[in-house]
Structure 1
């Protein structure tokens, strides 16, 4: 698998002159651990991370990303093998790596992007439904959940027909569920 197959694009980036407060707000708003810093030609000149934000002097009204960003920055091409990217991220403890094509930012790869192909869509449905059922039952783990191709099977004891209907309705609120079977 290649970087182009899993990278997030378009990449959200900031410029070196972006105020640290604004860049930090962007990290929080988008749920990123880091993001590329690009110049006016869209060339990657650094990476701004949560750690950079924590090191920044928020009291200084003029604090900019350029003062705290990591530079020089490691970049990869769209044709870089994902296994190589994963090794690089682990060894160097990187949270994100910009993807550059012909010298210009094309996307970004985060740890989450690397994990996404490892998780089947059905696994995400199971996790979401377990969370809903645990909340509903007061975290008593009353039901087992299995999902194959979007078809949900919920097994376990149901107090009555109303509870069966409630569990069926909860399952149908999870994105990707096509059918619900109760056992």
Structure 2
């Protein structure tokens, strides 16, 4: 496997973020409208404070069903702290961590700021590009 593969070369930088006070019902609409499976929760300085996924929203809705009430800030329902990666981290190392993790995506943080997102799909894209393994012959 190539040691030169870096997270920064395959991460997504077009991110959907929300502030912690965003209502979860709005987040659900964002997930649907943008056809995404999670949003990154950041503070006013673009520092990652958590991640809110489809799984989090469904778990919240299931619990809320008993009380006929759904709502509240994203910060109440997000996963925090999120498992993160560094942009200069070796992609193979991140792939190994992903196989041991229940999370399908890791926010990418540099100098305390959110700079991207690396997902299992991004890792597969690297694998499919042919650059994962050295060329023979």
TM-score where L is the length of structure 1? 0.60
Residues 47-72 of structure 1, C-alpha deviations (whole Å, 9 max, x = no match): 11111000123753642211110011
Which residue is 2:92 aligned to?
83
Map 1:1-183 onto structure 2 (within 5 A): 1-56=5-60, 57=64, 59-60=68-69, 62-119=71-128
CA-CA distance at 1:113 after TM superposition? 1.2
Unaligned runs of 5+ in 1: 121-183
Whichever structure has more helix as a proportion of its residues is: 1
Coordinate RMSD, CA, aligned: 1.7
> Which segments of structure 1 move beyond 3 Å, counting only runs of 4 or more?
57-62
Change (3 A) 1:105 1:13: same
Q: In the comparison of the two structures, how many residue pairs are matched? A: 120
Radius of gyration: which is bigger? 1
SS at match of 2:18: coil
Q: 1:3 to 1:21 in 2, by over 3 A?
A: same
Secondary structure at 1:118 match in 2 = helix
1:118–1:70 CA distance, 2 compared to 1 (3 A): same
TM-score (norm 2): 0.78
Shift of 1:96: 1.1
Distance of 1:48 and 1:39 partners within structure 2: 14
Displacement after TM superposition at 1:24 (Å) = 1.6
